[in-house]
Structure 1
């Protein structure tokens, strides 16, 4: 049996491993309470992601070979730097030479913008400041994506159901067949309500509920369960949406 076949066999087995699933959920609960995702950086910038999701994105970027990655939510810029670095590696290995990352945020703090703009990976990064659901911003993104052959979309801004659903309607169609629209922080649905006392989102109103609503009318996307079963520890369960047609 090949290594790849062994991996596939183990990943498939995880789906029915109730002990592993319970342990993983318990770890998610305790690690989120401890602010675990805030402990990491990518090439000097805070990335605010779980290492497992970073690894999943690396695998997807290598497999899809996007010439454009669209990201909503910039924060400190670590995710933009990560995506740009992966595109740089792809290019060094014969992938798209002019691949770009486009980041959107309603408020790009001046010190974060400066840190991103002076970073060695900045030549692959463009940013738009404004609401990701504003018609003028959506139009700018569509124009930026025009003519691109392989587009990957990542949604990680405001986590309310209504906002994420609006982002899905606006940007998921830009993901090309075989690529993904990745919706982060779907884990909110699976966490205790009291974990988000000062946030407008929580169980019943979050990215996962938006994903499930979107998929009711968009059969061109499917949840890639293999990613969930591989990671087990992830802030994006049900959030790795693969465009299949």
Structure 2
């Protein structure tokens, strides 16, 4: 007597094979990078909102974050870099749908109009804000206290210099729960033409990806989730989805 294969298991195997083939497709990876670079003059990431707030992210990365949040179901999401607050609202809305979790946003300068809009938003009930440098020991200690005993996921998206991101990694990655993630955005800067951001202190050789490389060399408890990067194909965080073993 034969039995049909479990259709859910068969689907998962098919998706796994899709991701393996994407990881191996160097031509597609190159074309995806080319496409991303061609969007930069159009300020593509600035064109999207989540529940009314500018999110300043590529949609592909936000889909990846949704999958990660559903999988991890963190008690606390710590994000450095707030800007207009769209990503805070996004993570908070996912927590609302899941029925669990809160978001802590940190920024050295939370502008008054952005703070007012975030605090007036219906998702603010799941958000807390800290103003100050994410690497200030006093801020780090406050985050550690809030994270104590919780399942924690960290998102780093503030100052993109090597020194700053490495300091953030050393401060916040230890808070990440095994099986959860520290996601470092804008590692793509290393893969872009040099001098693309003359008004900024970061560039090729001095950016989140170089900081991640130094951090990973000393922290084997973290690994790059290459499958997440492969499945979305287009990302501003290549090599930046770090999973704690």
When normalised by structure 2's length, the TM-score is 0.95
Determine the structure 2 residue equivalent to 1:102: 104
| Distance (Å, rounded) in 2 between the aligned partners of 1:58 and 1:105 | 23
| Distance (Å, rounded) in 2 between the aligned partners of 1:45 and 1:205 | 30
Q: Once superposed, which parts of structure 1, at least 4 consecutive aligned residues long, lie more than 2 Å away?
A: none
Decide whether the 8 Å contact of 1:165 with 1:214 is kept in 2: yes
| Distance (Å, rounded) in 1 between the aligned partners of 2:136 and 2:57 | 26
Cα-to-partner distance string for 1:132-184 (whole Å, 9 max, x where unaligned): 00010000100111121x11000000000000000000001111000000000
Determine the structure 1 residue equivalent to 2:176: 175
Determine the structure 2 residue equivalent to 1:64: 72
Matches within 5 A, 1:230-241: 230-241=231-242
Decide whether the 8 Å contact of 1:33 with 1:195 is kept in 2: no
TM-superposed CA distance for 1:33, in Å, is: 2.4
Does the alignment pair 1:30 with 2:32? no
TM-superposed CA distance for 1:3, in Å, is: 1.7
| Distance (Å, rounded) in 1 between the aligned partners of 2:204 and 2:195 | 10
Which of 107, 113, 116 is matched with 1:114 structurally? Answer: 116
Pairwise CA RMSD of aligned residues? 0.8
Does the alignment pair 1:86 with 2:94? yes
Cα-to-partner distance string for 1:215-239 (whole Å, 9 max, x where unaligned): 0110110000001111110000000
| Distance (Å, rounded) in 2 between the aligned partners of 1:24 and 1:32 | 13
| Distance (Å, rounded) in 1 between the aligned partners of 2:54 and 2:11 | 33
Determine the structure 2 residue equivalent to 1:46: 54
| Distance (Å, rounded) in 2 between the aligned partners of 1:168 and 1:120 | 31
- Stretches of structure 2 that go unaligned for 5 or more consecutive residues are 1-8
| Distance (Å, rounded) in 1 between the aligned partners of 2:79 and 2:30 | 31
Q: Number of aligned pairs?
A: 237
